[in-house]
């Protein structure tokens, strides 16, 4: 065993990846649906670090991992975050979560005078209860000690398991009726125009009479399919290719326009053919559909866009992202040209633009060292919180000139999860000795403190969401997940409320609550620590 300990202490990179592998193996162990996930890496790191005290890699490696995690979060959720700051529902969600976070922070700080807990340990428990690694980094930087990591590691399990058990109990108590929505897919119908009241209208005039969400993608006239031009004057027996995300809308459209005649258009592709391409070219990614300029001589229309598992109607404001699958109606002779225009490379959808990442991260780090005056507190540097803010702005902008800030979703997930894993492993290894020395004396009381902090966060957030702001239940569980932060909690919320609302609620408030937690830690360290 001594030989193994010496090996781990002389090979820190080997120790780091052993910690990652063992941590994920432990994290996959679930007890009644509750698992620690990537958080188990921290506990394995603490165990190895306590046994082999000199095995930790340099702290800069952990900071780099956290940078990658925060940058990926900001890039992915930038648009949803700013929508949350402007919509009435988003403002309510942010207010409810912020109140819960601040109350739990005051509960943590109150432990200092009431029970003699160190401020660094109390702030660490606050960070662990909210499963916020960024807050842990802020506490470590502000307090210059290992106490924050000890508090974090003790309260972290309750930060993961507590909200899951809370949501289970809340659903059992309230018994909300939530129906799983059908898969959102584009449906199409070929409708012969037999309603004389519509003959002579232009397509633009017809569109104003159709149910919202229905689009005429193409028209067949005189045995030829053609693009749906807004100024096209409709004639009797024209065949309309109508698309919508709901079959009920197509039934309503058919009743308005005429009768179904399937096969009239799709069996004849001499003039217009259908193709699906991947959006992977920088000519199209990050641009709204209204800004796309097709190659000269090519007449093409976009029938739909599929992102992930969701079909979206091709509105003019829709901005393409890496990996979007775009359905096109175009002449067969131009298929190759349009493939080249969109890129159509599945490999390209997984590639990262490292120039954009380098520039974006550098801008965030520069912003993080600029002192910001806060009344009554003094001048603070935001550190990695500023990087998150910059990444959110870049994620909303999507692109600027040659810089495409967005990343393919798969690449984003890999980048930020890898960064989070490296951070947790490095912090665990570095803090192992101090953790076991402290928990051996105060472990039982620290566990109880962690439970109280988590309950304060959950109860206040849930009460504000459900009874003060009266948000829908499925939105409320997403907000609770975002306030606590861990993706495992969101995954459970999606099981108890199988709609899109939990994801929307989580995305609207998770970045802002990360910033609130970081700022609370920094302000508390200045006001109380001094």
Of 135, 150, 155, residue with least CA distance to 66: 135
Segment holding 379, helix H or strand E: strand 378-381
- CB of 415 closer than 8 Å to CB of 407: yes
Q: State the pLDDT at residue 377.
A: 63
Of 301-305, 353-357, 470-474, the least confident: 353-357
Q: Where are the beta strands (DSSP E) in 285-332?
A: 300-307, 310-312, 325-330
Query: In angstroms, rounded to a whole number, what is the distance separating the alpha carbons of residues 127 and 141?
Result: 13
Q: On the CB side of 149, how many CA atoms lie within 13 Å of its CA?
A: 26
Selection from 453, 486, 482 nearest residue 37 by Cα: 486
pLDDT value, residue 349: 61
The pLDDT of residue 155 is: 84
Residue 348 has pLDDT above 70, yes or no: no
Is 382 within 8 Å of 392 (Cβ atoms)? no
Which of 520, 518, 513 is closest to 486 using CA atoms?
A: 513
Q: 187-348 maps to which CATH number?
A: 3.30.70.1450
């359905």: which residue's tokens?
A: 327
At 405, which helix (H) or strand (E)? none
pLDDT tens digits, 442-478: 667 888 898 899 999 999 999 999 999 999 999 999 9
Separation in Å, CA 385 to CA 15, 142, 367, 391, 427: 29, 13, 9, 10, 19
Q: Report how far apart, in Å, the C-alpha atoms of 211 and of each of 215, 238, 275, 439 are.
A: 9, 19, 26, 64
The conformation of residue 202, written as its DSSP 8-state character, comes to B
- The CATH-assigned architecture of domain 2-179+361-527 is Up-down Bundle (1.20)
**DSSP run (H or E) holding 417:** helix 409-463
Per-residue confidence (pLDDT) for residue 77, from 0 to 100: 81
Q: Strand 239-244 to strand 300-307: parallel, antiparallel, or no bridges (unpaired)?
A: unpaired
Mean pLDDT score, 490-497: 77
pLDDT at 222: 86
Q: Using one digit for the tens of pLDDT, what is the confidence trace for 51-108?
A: 888 888 888 888 898 888 889 888 888 888 888 888 889 999 999 999 999 999 999 9
For residues 296 and 443, the model is more confident at 296
What pLDDT shows up at residue 370? 87
Please give the residue that has the higher pLDDT: either 179 or 281. 281
pTM attached to this predicted model:
0.74
Q: Is the pLDDT of residue 529 over 80?
A: no
Residue from 106, 169, 85, 97 nearest 463 by CA: 97
Say whether 165 sits in a helix, a strand or coil: helix
Residue 179 confidence (pLDDT) above 80: no
pLDDT exceeds cutoff 70 at 211:
yes
- The per-residue pLDDT for 104 is 96
- Counting residues of the chain whose pLDDT is more than 70, the rounded percentage is 94
| Per-domain boundaries in the chain | 2-179+361-527, 187-348
Q: Is the pLDDT of residue 23 over 70?
A: yes
Per-residue pLDDT at 147: 82
Q: Which residue has the higher pLDDT, 194 or 493?
A: 194
Query: Quick one: pLDDT at residue 165?
Result: 82
Tokens of 404: 């495409």
Which two three-digit tokens encode residue 441?
Answer: 């004396």
Whole-number average pLDDT of the chain? 85
* Gap between the Cα atoms of 510 and 495, Å rounded: 19
């Amino acid at each position: 065993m001594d030989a193994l300990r010496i090996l781990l202490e002389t090979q820190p990179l080997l120790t780091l990846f052993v910690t990652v592998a063992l941590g994920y193996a432990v994290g996959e162990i679930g007890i009644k649906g509750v698992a620690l996930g990537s958080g188990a890496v921290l506990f394995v790191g603490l165990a190895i670090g306590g046994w082999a005290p000199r095995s930790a890699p340099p702290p800069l490696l952990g900071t780099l991992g956290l940078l990658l995690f925060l940058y990926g979060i900001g890039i992915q959720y930038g648009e949803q975050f700013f929508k949350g700051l402007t919509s009435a529902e988003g403002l309510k969600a942010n207010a409810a979560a912020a109140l819960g976070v601040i109350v739990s922070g005051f509960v943590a700080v109150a432990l200092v005078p009431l029970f003699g807990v160190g401020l660094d340990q109390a702030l660490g428990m606050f960070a662990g209860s909210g499963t916020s690694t960024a807050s842990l980094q802020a506490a470590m930087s502000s307090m210059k000690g290992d106490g924050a990591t000890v508090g974090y590691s003790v309260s972290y399990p309750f930060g993961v398991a507590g909200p899951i058990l809370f949501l289970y109990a809340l659903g059992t108590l309230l018994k909300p009726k939530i129906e799983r929505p059908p898969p959102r897919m584009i449906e199409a119908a070929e409708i012969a125009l037999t309603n004389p009241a519509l003959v002579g209208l232009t397509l633009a005039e017809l569109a104003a009479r159709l149910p919202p969400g229905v689009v005429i993608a193409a028209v067949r006239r005189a045995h030829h399919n053609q693009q749906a031009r807004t100024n096209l004057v409709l004639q009797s027996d024209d065949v309309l290719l109508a698309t919508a995300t709901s079959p009920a809308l197509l039934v309503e459209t058919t009743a308005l326009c005429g009768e179904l005649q399937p096969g009239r258009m799709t069996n004849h592709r001499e003039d217009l053919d259908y193709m699906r391409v991947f959006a992977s070219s920088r000519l199209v990614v990050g641009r709204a559909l209204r800004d796309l300029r097709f190659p000269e001589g090519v007449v093409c229309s976009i029938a739909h866009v599929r992102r992930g598992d969701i079909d979206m109607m091709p509105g003019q404001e829709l901005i393409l992202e890496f990996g979007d699958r775009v359905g096109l109606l175009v002449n067969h002779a131009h298929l190759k040209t349009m493939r080249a225009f969109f890129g159509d490379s599945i490999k390209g959808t997984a590639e990262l633009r490292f120039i954009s990442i380098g520039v974006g991260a550098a801008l965030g780090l520069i912003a993080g060292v600029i002192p910001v005056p806060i009344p009554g507190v003094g001048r603070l540097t935001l550190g990695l919180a500023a990087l998150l803010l910059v990444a959110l702005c870049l994620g909303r902008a999507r692109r600027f000139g040659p810089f495409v800030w967005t990343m393919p979703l798969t690449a984003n997930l890999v980048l930020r999860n890898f960064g989070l894993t490296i951070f947790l492993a490095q912090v665990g290894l570095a803090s192992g000795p101090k953790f076991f020395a402290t928990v051996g004396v105060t472990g039982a009381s620290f566990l109880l403190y962690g439970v109280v902090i988590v309950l304060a966060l959950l109860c206040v957030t849930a009460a504000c969401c459900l009874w003060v702001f009266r948000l829908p239940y499925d939105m409320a569980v997403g907000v609770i997940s975002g306030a606590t932060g861990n993706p495992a909690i969101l995954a459970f919320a999606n099981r108890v409320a199988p709609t899109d609302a939990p994801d929307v609620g989580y995305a609207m408030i998770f970045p802002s609550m990360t910033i609130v937690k970081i700022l609370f830690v920094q302000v508390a360290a200045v006001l109380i620590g001094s």
